[in-house]
Amino acid sequence: MTDKELAPELYELLNGRDLSSKQQEALVLMTVSEDGWPHTAMISVGEIVAISQNSLRLGLWPGTVTTGNILRTGKATLAAFYAGKAFYIRLQLRPLAELSGAKHPRLRFEAQVISCKADTAKYADIVSGVQIVLHDPEAVVTRWEETVEELLR
């Protein structure tokens, strides 16, 4: 692994497979707003998929601040707290063509990993990250699986 590739455990988390077992994991996607302030949003494993160790695809809701920031700057940082580490992944993004007939309309982006930093502390262990509990796991995981399938097209 180089610093321009996802760590193996992150690649496994974001590979788009077995989403049901990963449904509690949430990541933080950070962008910069028009007024120069950091903007944070949560993203699920059903809205992002690793195509390779250095390439991701994201399917984001249209009309959000996050989507607007990415369209304007082409940049984001993804933060994941997983497998006992904090990961900070700088991304360069470009929009993908609209997918006709998509079940779940999203703005789709291709993202190149610019850097991936794993952070740990010698004096403490990271025991959890941002975790969620879905209200309707069956429906949400089905939507995620369909979204990931569309991101792979």
Q: Write down all domains in the chain, each with its CATH number in brackets.
A: 8-151 (2.30.110.10)
For range 137-152, the mean pLDDT: 94
With contact defined as beta carbons under 8 Å apart, do 43 and 10 qualify? Answer: no
Per-residue confidence (pLDDT) for residue 101, from 0 to 100: 85
pLDDT tier, 35 (very low <50, low <70, confident <90, very high otherwise):
very high
pTM for the model stands at: 0.92
The proportion of the chain whose per-residue pLDDT surpasses 90, expressed as a percent, equals 85
Count CB-CB contacts under 10 A for residue 107. 19
pLDDT tier, 1 (very low <50, low <70, confident <90, very high otherwise):
low
| DSSP 8-state symbol, 99 | -
pLDDT in tens, 2-30: 699 999 999 999 999 999 999 999 999 99
For range 85-89, the mean pLDDT: 96
CA-to-CA separations, 84 to 3, 10, 87, 108, 128, in angstroms, rounded: 18, 11, 10, 30, 7
